[in-house]
Amino acid sequence: MGSSAAPDHFGGEGTYRTMVKACALVGLDAFDAVPMRLGENALYSLSSARVVVRVARSLQMLPDVQKEVEVARWLRDADYPAARLANVAEMPVVVEGHPVTFWHLVDVAEPKPSPADLGRLLRRLHSLEIPDWLRLPDFQPFARVAQRLADAPDLVATHDIAFLRRWLDALCDQFEELRFEFPPGPVHGDAHRGNLLRAATGEVLLLDFEQFCFGPREWDLSLSALYRYSLRWFTAEEYRAFVEAYGYDITSWTGLPVMRSIRELGMTTWLMQMVGQDAAKAAEFGRRVDDIRQGRFPRRWRAF
């Protein structure tokens, strides 16, 4: 397993080269690789091998990637409907400073997973018992935010970075005052419909275990409330279906506004990493910062 410093620019050309080298290390042929997504990670599908290759942004993410592999093995053993690791002996491999993992390619079917599917899967996930051999990290809502701000692209205005840092400091203080309704347990960390797939069998699968942790289950529930009440990405009917499937409505919890704001800060700094990719992402980052600064509700945000 080799490694070196990751390049500053996380883009298509560099991640493709990393993906090809990683495939060669584990005996896969990347001749038919097709890009699927470029965000926190770069994803490529190898249709002939029935594999998805996931390239992480930097070596700093190695602990999260290692945890992701362990969580996938736990969910497999628990017979929980989730993404499965590919049959590759060594994972993750590190190439050019990027941790790389390999996953089974799923044939996707319609209809797309619903908020009710999300509520049902979260209810089941939160009821699972964590095995003794799995050490989930404690919930750290701000860890990636601070690093993203420290590594902000040059295109981001200094006054926007300063504003987001002040907001981060305020939210850190507010988070310390929260009192949670549920006992801590396994938390997905990024529980939204984009991290679900409906397989050709009809089964809905949970994806993306990078932010898995041990912490407040309210964190997983807060995202759907944000989608309904701040972003309007859920209709009233969709949010009601989510609540009925899970069995609890987090809008009754007084700590939700703080959780919502922490979520929004994370979503904004996540997009900030990609302002150099195209004009649409740069414009959306500016819109998000402006909405937060002006206290504008509902937010005018677009999904990426």
> Does residue 59 contact residue 1 with C-beta atoms inside 8 Å?
no
**E-assigned strands of 71-157?**
93-95, 98-104
Q: What is the pLDDT of residues 81-120, one digit of tens each?
A: 999 999 998 899 999 999 999 999 999 999 999 999 999 9
How far is residue 166's CA from residue 161's CA, in Å, rounded to a whole number? 9
Residue 7 has pLDDT above 80, yes or no: no
CA distances from 2 to 22, 55, 63, 99 (A): 10, 15, 16, 10
Helix (H, G, I), strand (E, B) or coil at 45: strand
Please give the DSSP secondary-structure letter assigned to residue 112.
P
Average pLDDT, the chain: 94
Q: What is the DSSP letter of 251?
A: G
Q: Where are the alpha helices (DSSP H) in 131-278?
A: 143-150, 158-176, 218-229, 236-246, 256-272
pLDDT of residue 222: 98
d(CA 176, CA 178): 6
pLDDT of 2 strictly over 50:
no
d(CA 28, CA 208) in angstroms, rounded, equals 22
For residue 42, the cross-strand partners are 38, 55
* Confidence tier at 45 by pLDDT (50, 70, 90): very high
> pLDDT-derived band of residue 1, with 50, 70 and 90 as boundaries?
very low
In degrees rounded to 5, what are phi and psi of residue 69?
Answer: -65, -45
Domains 12-104 and 115-294 share a fold: no
Q: What is the pTM of this model?
A: 0.91
Nearest residue to 15 via CA among 33, 31, 29, 1: 33
The domain spans of the chain are 12-104, 115-294
Counting residues of the chain whose pLDDT is more than 90, the rounded percentage is 92
Which of left, alpha, beta for 295 (phi over 0: left; psi -120 to 50: alpha)?
A: left
- Closest C-alpha among 144, 264, 165 to residue 213: 144
pLDDT of residue 11: 77
* pLDDT grade for 5, boundaries at 50, 70 and 90: very low
Domain 12-104 coded CATH 3.30.200.20: yes
> Distance (Å, rounded) from C-alpha 269 to C-alpha 173?
19
Of the options 3.30.470.10, 3.90.1200.10, 3.40.50.300, 3.40.190.10, the CATH number for the domain spanning 115-294: 3.90.1200.10
Average pLDDT over residues 63-74: 97
